Structure 1
Amino acid sequence: MNKKNFFYLLFLISFNLIAQDDNPEIIVISDTESETNREAMKLYNAGIKNFQSKNYADAVGNYSGAINLVDSFVKAYYNRGMAKYELKDFSGASADFTKTIELTPGSDIAFFRRGECFLALKKKPEAMSDFDRAISINPGEAKYFYNRGVVNFENQQYKLAIEDFSKTVILDDNHAYAYNDRGSAKRNMDDYDGAISDYNKAIKINPSLAFVYNNSGSAKKRKGDFQGAIGEYNQAIRMKSDYYIAINNRGSAKFEMGDFQGAINDFTEALKINPKYAFAFNNRATAKYKMKDYKGAVEDCNKAIGLDPNYGYAFLNRGIAKEMLRDPEGACSDWQKASTLGVTNAGSYTKDCK
């Protein structure tokens, strides 16, 4: 039977949404204001100071007090939404941004912020709608295109993501994250040279981003430049010694070069850092299989499955190792399980099962 080993190569997109980058200003209180308005403004100003001091709960209380006095205080709704976002109260924050939009329908930033809340709440269609609206009101803001690009990437709409990240860097050519993420979209469309070029641009802008070196390594590995990939992974690991994802990926490149013991060493190192990293157990199992350590391969697949009971490739690989241990019934059971979990080529193994 034609055996094939599988690797899960973890590939990173930066996904670096920024919650707070506006700087609200203290309101100058005029003596001509009513007593109620003056008190509301004092509370609002106190909220800004608490927000700037990262006392977000107190800021929410200040802004709420201001709103109780003046229920049309749009800046208080907006900034209370920002404070709630920092407290990870995304539903409450989205409600405040909705109120901001009701009071000022042309507020592109309120649509954008509500979109961020929807994204945090895993409501991608609503997030996309709000990012679209923000862009339609103000097409000159880079971060609006960037966040929409992230949603398109997550929806596997890579061509659209590339378009959004391209618009981002046109508006802000120092946006390292947009170059990185455009590279990731290009990589997923098999444009490895384009991906590597974008990663290099991101590194030129900000050479301290270890994950960009990891991503560049993954693109080089897909291109077949395993030695180049190892060089990129090494740089990522030098910058972040506990970067177990890059260590795992370096092991996969070593595996492709036939350095199975070196691969095992890297997968083991990754697992020392993160013992719950199921992918590294599966990867180490495939390397042990190549070293004819079939029992060790089964043990590592067991650990991967223990961490992720729906890990189809671990079942597939365990079945391959079990067959070499002359356990055809166990092998068939694992291949059938892999098939039910959506491993498309598991059928090429189960067809020989009785």
Structure 2
Amino acid sequence: MKKSIHITLFIWFSVSSLFGQWNTDRITLIGRNALANEDYVLAIQYFNQVIKVKPYLAEPYMFRAIAKISLDDYVGAEQDCNIAIERSPFIPQAFYTRGFARKKLGKYKDAIQDFDKALEFSPENTIIVINRAEAKERNKDYEGAIKDLNYFSKLNPKEKSIDYEIGRIRLSQNDTVAAIKAFDKFIEVDTISPLGYSVRALLKMQKKDEDGAFSDYNEAIKRKSEYEGDYINRGILNVKRNRFNQALSDYNEAIRLDPKNILAYYNRGLLRANLGDNNNAIGDLDKVVNADSTNYEARLQKAYLELQVGDLAAAEKDFKVILNKYPFFVPAYYGMAEAIEKSGRRSEAQRIKALAFEIETNKDFYKKKQTLVAKNQMAQKIQQKKETPNKNNLTDKFSTQINTSAKENKYGEGIRGNIQDNISNLEIEKDFVLTYYRKTDDLRRTNTYHPTISRYNSKQLLLSSLKATNREIELVPDVLNKHFESINTLSVEISKNPSNADFYFARAMDFALVQDFTSAIDDLSKAVSIRPDFTLAYFMRANLRNKLIKFKQTSVSNNLTETKSVTTKLPLDIRESYKADYEMIMADLNRTIELAPDFSFAYFNKGNLLYTLKNYNESLKAYNKAISIDPDFAEAYFNCGITNIQLNDASNANLHLSKAGELGIYQAYSILKTLQK
């Protein structure tokens, strides 16, 4: 989930030129709107305009810093915060924002100072406390980090993960006794999580307390651990107890959880070899060496097994690879000689045996004999790195982090090869909207034509032709300027003819494209009051009301908070707090359907709204209605698949996702692969 820093502040002032009678408060508000909708480049353009008019204000620099952080421009964000703090040293958000940027830049000492200053203004702000704890840990002030974690726990006593984080930091200090105590406490506090048992088991395993480790791994797995290392390590312990079937089951589960885990394949291959299942053992070891060609232990075991099953060419090839790396490793010479001799090349085999004997009898002359010992390797749960922070830090869970991964693949990127191996989130396709601009997609076959839209375009009343899409594009400054100018022009026309519904609709389009949703909704309401059968106005108003809800959900005024990306899985209290808004959206969609019963996009958006409200069965009905109107509605098939997953209906989920992939939504294949494991 993508998070960003968002602060609500109101500063009233006027602007001129392009923005006409709009004031800087309005521009700042729209910039914040763009921030909430993750339109960071556009947000920066708005804040630039405010800075141009009144460069002495602090807040626009701070807001622009937030946008830059969201674009991973931490250097620029720090500079903007410096200016903001110069202009007003009493804004805690500016110190926090600069501290966040400095932390990302590795300036941990400076970041800590900024967080200290921010906490002077807001001493109980848990977000700042957690960020300071992370900065202290990365600055190797482990005691200071633990002190902050304890303070966080005091402020938020319901949080159960603090003892785990303290234990992890104690490990960074090589204090395993204190670490185990912390993990013991974590287990007492959180009896459901497998995490504490999992980490404690690893520590016990490292201390040779195999009985204690085995017991803890059992407890972790009983709590449905999804960490493959737990199963690998318990498998190792089961092997030592001669419980081979249980060990094999553990390795199988580890591979199910992580099909690319070469350690699980390696240990399973060794176990299968010991059980006489040579062919399957070779298959496992082959996966290991294909994934890691430098794993010579696995290659040696594979070569010996190939000798046993009679695959002499493969065995010879593997022994040669080993000897290229370790030219004085005598067992590989004898193994290759055996493979060559069995293939009928006896004289060549004799020469290789003679060379092996020479190396063995003249050890002082040749390099010291290389040895490879195939043995079980222990899965490491916690990796201590001197410079790189642990990815499972508490701040990753609680603080305002920026997700730097791309949100979507573009056509031509990431669609070749094994695309099913790509990671896709279990999220439905977005609502369809009306706009002048859309991303091109040569893959999807959804029909975006509708007579209602076409008829309206034929009147040539708008700045450009309307298009239906759920793939909006970010507008460049020149295009935005055109819409600002259009707003001013239409405002003049409306003042002359206030009963023209088309003028209000046209201006609403411009307002929507510059992210001023409130003004757009006002104009659409005026349009439908003048023309009660204005189908497209109802549909567009539903879209904008939904966008406005998302903006409200990501904006909290007068306090430093996280801005969380709105997902389709909303807590019940959030859904209830916007109950009236959702009812208005539903009313607009139903009115659209009443006026245009074959408007498939309205049914699709209705399905999305019902999905958001977790009314999955009714959501399916709406998606299926859209499909009945347009049998090639790829997005509706995809969303049906996701909805069926929520309903635990694997059969229908497979069918719908398969159809969605067929119709061009290639992300469906990675979900299908996961679903079918």
Aligned position for 1:252: 233
Say which is worse superposed, 269-278 or 219-228, in terms of deviation: 269-278
Q: CA deviation at 1:134?
A: 1.8
Whether the aligned pair in 1 keeps the contact of 2:170 and 2:176 (CA below 8 Å) is: yes
Whether the aligned pair in 2 keeps the contact of 1:319 and 1:335 (CA below 8 Å) is: no
Q: Which amino acid aligns with 1:130?
A: A
Aligned position for 1:353: 370
Whether the aligned pair in 2 keeps the contact of 1:106 and 1:137 (CA below 8 Å) is: no
**What is the DSSP-based 3-state SS (H/G/I as helix, E as strand, rest coil) of the residue aligned with 1:353?**
coil
Pick aligned residue for 2:163 from 179, 192, 202:
179
Q: Which amino acid aligns with 2:231?
A: R
- List per-residue Cα deviations over 1:259-306 (Å, max 9, x = no partner): 444344344444345433344344545555665768866764554454
**What is the DSSP-based 3-state SS (H/G/I as helix, E as strand, rest coil) of the residue aligned with 2:194?**
helix
Report whether the alignment pairs 1:275 with 2:259.
yes
Aligned position for 2:149: 165
CA separation in 2, counterparts of 1:103 and 1:305?
60
Pick aligned residue for 2:116 from 112, 122, 135:
135
Q: CA deviation at 1:219?
A: 1.4
- List per-residue Cα deviations over 1:132-187 (Å, max 9, x = no partner): 43225536344344234335556776555434423332343334443332232235
Whether the aligned pair in 2 keeps the contact of 1:47 and 1:62 (CA below 8 Å) is: yes
CA separation in 2, counterparts of 1:39 and 1:265?
68
CA separation in 1, counterparts of 2:262 and 2:140?
24
Aligned position for 1:76: 60
CA separation in 1, counterparts of 2:181 and 2:91?
36
Whether the aligned pair in 1 keeps the contact of 2:238 and 2:246 (CA below 8 Å) is: no
Aligned position for 1:150: 134
Pick aligned residue for 1:233 from 221, 227, 243:
221
Report whether the alignment pairs 1:190 with 2:187.
no
Q: CA deviation at 1:42?
A: 1.4
Q: CA deviation at 1:89?
A: 4.3
Aligned position for 1:199: 186
Q: CA deviation at 1:128?
A: 4.3
Aligned position for 1:117: 101
Aligned position for 1:345: none
Aligned position for 2:198: 217
**What is the DSSP-based 3-state SS (H/G/I as helix, E as strand, rest coil) of the residue aligned with 2:190?**
helix
CA separation in 2, counterparts of 1:112 and 1:28?
20
Q: CA deviation at 1:115?
A: 3.8
1:43–1:198 CA distance, 2 compared to 1 (3 A):
farther
- List per-residue Cα deviations over 1:20-63 (Å, max 9, x = no partner): 3x5414x263xxx4556972221001122333344444333322
- Report how many residues are paired: 301
Whether the aligned pair in 1 keeps the contact of 2:167 and 2:180 (CA below 8 Å) is: no
Question: What RMSD, in angstroms, separates the aligned Cα atoms of the two structures?
Answer: 4.3
**What is the DSSP-based 3-state SS (H/G/I as helix, E as strand, rest coil) of the residue aligned with 1:225?**
helix
Aligned position for 2:85: 101
Q: CA deviation at 1:308?
A: 5.1
Q: Which amino acid aligns with 2:59?
A: K
Rg larger in 1 or in 2?
2
**What is the DSSP-based 3-state SS (H/G/I as helix, E as strand, rest coil) of the residue aligned with 2:176?**
coil
1:128–1:68 CA distance, 2 compared to 1 (3 A):
same
CA separation in 2, counterparts of 1:308 and 1:156?
34
Q: CA deviation at 1:249?
A: 1.8
Q: Which amino acid aligns with 1:194?
A: K
CA separation in 2, counterparts of 1:334 and 1:293?
29
Q: CA deviation at 1:75?
A: 1.5
Aligned position for 1:344: none
Aligned position for 2:298: 318
1:46–1:253 CA distance, 2 compared to 1 (3 A):
same
Aligned position for 2:422: none
CA separation in 2, counterparts of 1:117 and 1:298?
50
1:137–1:28 CA distance, 2 compared to 1 (3 A):
closer
Aligned position for 1:346: none
**What is the DSSP-based 3-state SS (H/G/I as helix, E as strand, rest coil) of the residue aligned with 2:23?**
helix
Aligned position for 1:265: 249
Q: CA deviation at 1:253?
A: 1.9
1:137–1:89 CA distance, 2 compared to 1 (3 A):
closer
CA separation in 2, counterparts of 1:200 and 1:333?
50
Whether the aligned pair in 2 keeps the contact of 1:318 and 1:334 (CA below 8 Å) is: no
- List per-residue Cα deviations over 1:240-265 (Å, max 9, x = no partner): xxx4xx13422322322334443443
**What is the DSSP-based 3-state SS (H/G/I as helix, E as strand, rest coil) of the residue aligned with 1:174?**
coil
CA separation in 1, counterparts of 2:326 and 2:176?
29
Aligned position for 1:48: 32
Q: Which amino acid aligns with 1:200?
A: I
CA separation in 2, counterparts of 1:286 and 1:158?
41
- List per-residue Cα deviations over 1:199-231 (Å, max 9, x = no partner): 337637xx6xxxx52343221343333233232
CA separation in 2, counterparts of 1:305 and 1:111?
51
Whether the aligned pair in 2 keeps the contact of 1:247 and 1:269 (CA below 8 Å) is: yes
**What is the DSSP-based 3-state SS (H/G/I as helix, E as strand, rest coil) of the residue aligned with 2:223?**
helix
Normalised TM-score (structure 2): 0.37
Aligned position for 1:13: none
1:279–1:200 CA distance, 2 compared to 1 (3 A):
same
Whether the aligned pair in 2 keeps the contact of 1:176 and 1:202 (CA below 8 Å) is: yes
Q: Which has the higher helix share?
A: 1
Q: Structure 2: which 5+ runs fail to align?
A: 205-211, 308-317, 328-366, 372-677
Identity across the alignment (%): 18
CA separation in 1, counterparts of 2:223 and 2:146?
26
Whether the aligned pair in 2 keeps the contact of 1:91 and 1:117 (CA below 8 Å) is: yes
Q: Structure 1: which 5+ runs fail to align?
A: 1-15, 238-242, 337-349
The answer to which structure, 1 or 2, has the higher relative contact order (CA under 8 A, 6+ apart) is 2
Normalised TM-score (structure 1): 0.64
Aligned position for 2:8: 24
CA separation in 2, counterparts of 1:288 and 1:271?
15
Q: CA deviation at 1:130?
A: 0.9
Whether the aligned pair in 2 keeps the contact of 1:226 and 1:253 (CA below 8 Å) is: yes
CA separation in 1, counterparts of 2:301 and 2:185?
40
Whether the aligned pair in 2 keeps the contact of 1:286 and 1:297 (CA below 8 Å) is: yes
1:324–1:305 CA distance, 2 compared to 1 (3 A):
closer
